Amino acid sequence: MTRWNIKTLFLMGVSNQRRDLHFEPEALNIITGASGTGKSTLIKAIDYCLGSSKCELPAHVRRRSVAVGVKWVAGDAEMIVGRIVPPVGQVTSTRMFTAAGRNLPLPDNVEALDGATTLEAAKAFIERAFGIGDLGGEPDEVSARGRATVRHVTPYMFVTKEVIYSESTLLHGLEKADKARDIVAAMPYFLRVTDEASAIDERRLRHLQRALEEARARSRAAAESLLKQWATSLLEEARRLELAAPPSAEASEAALLAELKAVSETQLQANAYPSEGELGALNRRRREILAELGALRRHSQATRAALQEAAGFQGAVTRQRDKLALAEHLHLDEITSALTQTEGAAWLLRMAAAGLVQMKGFGRSLCSAM
């Protein structure tokens, strides 16, 4: 991946004259000269073409120039970025020109500049060329890693005398905490060791790694929960067999596994099967128990039948007692005695008529009886 290099810096005068300054791509270019000869003007012109918010070109340059431009090369690819120079008294100009291709000729005048655009569109064009693009990203990720823009590649393009003289500053603007992260984030894009596609792939890779870690965590939690359920179930079965104590619901997996290990190491006595003689005795005892059980069932049935008969007899006695109580209440015994004497007198009369008994004195007795 080839890095972009400045090949030509040009300024267009008010009389359609163009002044060019050529650089050697893929090499370190050193600009020297006496104070006031315009060394800083070249740096400010490059920075102005990279979308600075204000034009810092000296006043004498702004009076004699109408536009400034930079031609970039990266292998066979070329890019020309131009910008209108504002007049003295105006802060900046938002009129810019961008063009990309191969074997691009330098424009002879402002009318020959191609790709008229706005300031924001021009910065986006340059960022795409550098491979930065509008990556966006999560706020936490951007704040931690910094946000690379075309405005943060300038420290890698030139080193001013202030940075050269400084013993603590490595790059221009790196001493400012609010810009340091962004400048560092722009380094891979300027050196072309990465681009927008690679950055998107890296972000996707981070998302996939995060999703993988979350999936592993969920899998571990599910596996631990399932293991705990199995261990609890086995310990509950061991409790029913009186081999272990009831498992605790708050116990950890390690504690449950330790209890299972202790149960597995428990020495149990082998089951002793009875001999043939013992089996015969057991069978006889079984038959005796069954016979006793049958006798008890028959006795139980007879007892239930006797209870039913007793209940019926008790009902009959109760009904007769109720009748006797009613006869006593109505004095039916006196009526029965009178009826008996009358029936006796009638019998004597029938016997006398038949000549079988004497009737002497019977009338008085009958009257007295009546």
Alpha-carbon gap, residue 304 to 295, rounded angstroms: 14
pLDDT (0 to 100) of residue 369: 43
| Whole-number pLDDT of residue 281 | 85
CA dist., res. 51 & res. 127, Å (int): 11
Cβ neighbors of 209 (< 8 A, separation 6 or more) are none
Predicted confidence at residue 141, as pLDDT, reads 47
Instruction: Give the tokens for residue 140.
Output: 């936490």
Contact of 47 with 68, CB cutoff 8 Å: no
pTM of this prediction?
A: 0.50
Give the list of residues 6+ apart from residue 64 with CB closer than 8 angstroms, or none.
Answer: 13, 14
The predicted pLDDT at position 27 comes to 86
Separation of alpha carbons 98 and 81, rounded Å: 5
**Region of residue 327 (left: phi > 0; alpha: psi -120 to 50; beta: else):** alpha
Rounded Cα distance, 39 and 45, in Å: 10
Query: What is residue 348's predicted lDDT score, i.e. its pLDDT?
Result: 58
Residue 329: what pLDDT? Answer: 66
Asked if 29 and 38 touch (Cβ cutoff 8 Å), the reply is no
Residue 326 has what pLDDT? 66
pLDDT of residue 365: 44
Strand, helix or coil for residue 252? coil
Collect all residues with Cβ–Cβ distance below 8 Å to 313 and sequence separation of at least 6.
none
pLDDT of residue 349: 61
Walking along the chain (370 residues) 10 residues at a time, the average pLDDT comes out as 84 90 88 84 90 90 93 91 92 93 91 91 86 54 60 76 74 71 74 64 79 84 75 83 77 81 75 72 89 92 87 78 70 56 60 54 44
* Paired tokens of 220: 């571990």
Q: What are the backbone angles phi and psi of residue 77, rounded to the nearest 5°?
A: -80, 145
With both helix axes pointing from N to C terminus, report the angle between 332-353 and 276-330 in degrees, rounded to the nearest 10. Answer: 70
